Homo-oligomer: A and B are copies of this chain.
Amino acid sequence: VELTVFEIISIGNELLNGRTLNTNAHWLSSRITSLGGFVRRITVVRDELEEISSAVKEALNRGSDWIITSGGLGPTFDDLTLEGVAKALGLELELNEEALKMIAERYREMEREGALKAELTPHRLKMATLPRGSSPLRNPVGTAPGVLIRVNGSYVVCLPGVPSEMKAIFDEELAPLIESKIKRAFRAFRRARLVGVAESDLAPLIDEVRKRFGVYIKSHPVGRYEGKCRLELDVYAHRPDEEEARRLVDGALEALKEALSGKAERFELE
């Protein structure tokens, strides 16, 4: 199955010093997976030009189809994402008229609401200063627009770090584009819960079943209960055909259940 490969780059010191749990990358990987994409890697880097630029370059060199960054699009000195991306791609930064319009409109709206004065200060113009050739992505809930750049066969997308802004731009602007470009493979998935068998005892059976059915099986130990080992078994199949993918997952689970009857105390499908 041919896959469309994504990488996520999360930018922000707060993600590396224990301040902030990286829920953005989790949300993005979940949404991308359900759109049919394959997330190969998540990289979290600090608000430093070299770190951002090298992370983007490395992802491009791995041949990933989509590179999605979040964080570092705001007005402060340490919002360096666009400078880092421009450096990685060898592009100049320039004032983007479309982005400027979006930002000016947003500040006028906030002025009407009494939150601030709408003048376009240098720190605000910074948010409209994008790598040459960028398309801004409308931010319906905040100020800094997202940014989309086509690079040879790949896309680099920059989203804000504020979760509500990142999600809104992803869902409203990006998801439709991803859906129209993605190589579709259906991903069937079911989970079984198992009591009374240790992961190490299950390992040979998993090996056998995953080879027989061409599925991926991942076991997750979830502690012990009254001395008994408990496991979750996630079974996945990626196939162009939905029916076939489901059939393989169900077949693998049936085979596991049969092989474990009399050994496992419980085998429940979720």
Q: What is the interface of chain A, defined by CB distance below 8 A to chain B?
A: 13-23, 25-26, 29-34, 39-47, 51, 55, 58, 74-78, 110, 113-116, 121-124, 127, 142-143, 162, 164, 197-204, 206-207, 210, 216, 218-221, 223-224, 227-229, 234
Give every chain B residue within 8 A of A216 (Cβ-Cβ). 13
- Residues on B with C-beta less than 8 A from A199 are 74-76
In the complex, the answer to whether A39 meets B23 with C-beta atoms within 8 Å is no
Q: Can you name the residue of chain B whose Cβ is closest to the Cβ of A198?
A: B116
Of the A-B pairs whose beta carbons lie under 8 Å apart in the complex, a sample of 20, sorted by A's number, is A13-B216, A16-B39, A16-B40, A16-B41, A18-B32, A22-B26, A40-B45, A40-B46, A41-B43, A47-B218, A75-B200, A76-B203, A76-B218, A77-B203, A77-B207, A77-B210, A78-B218, A115-B224, A123-B200, A142-B221
Give the docked Cα–Cα distance between A234 and B78 (Å): 13
Contact of A51 among B25, B40, B124 (CB under 8 A): B40
Closest B residue to A19 using CB positions: B234
- Minimum C-beta distance from A172 to chain B (A): 18
Q: How many angstroms from the CA of A37 to the CA of B50 in the assembled complex?
A: 20
Q: Could you say which residues of chain B place their CB within 8 Å of the CB of A55? A: 41
Closest CB in chain B relative to A124 CB, distance in Å = 5
Whether B51 and A14, one on each chain, are in contact in the complex, defined by CB atoms closer than 8 angstroms, is no
Interface centre among A16, A20, A30, A210 (most CB of B within 10 A): A16
Nearest opposing residue in chain B for A79, CB measure? B203
> Residues of B contacting A203 with CB < 8 Å?
75-77, 123
CB distance from A188 to the nearest CB of B (A): 13
Q: B22 near A228 (CB under 8 angstroms)?
A: no
What residues of B have a CB within 8 angstroms of the CB of A113 in the complex?
227
Q: Which residues of B contact A25 (CB under 8 A)?
A: 22, 44
* Distance, CA A48 to CA B13, complexed state (A): 28
Q: What are the residues of chain B within 8 A of A223 when measuring CB–CB?
A: 164
Contact of A227 with B114 in the complex, beta carbons under 8 Å: yes
A228 in contact with B78 (CB, 8 Å): no
A101 vs B24: C-alpha distance in the bound complex, in angstroms? 42
Query: Contacts A17-B29, A21-B23: A115 and B42 contacting too (C-beta < 8 A)?
Result: no
A181 CB to nearest chain B CB (Å)? 20
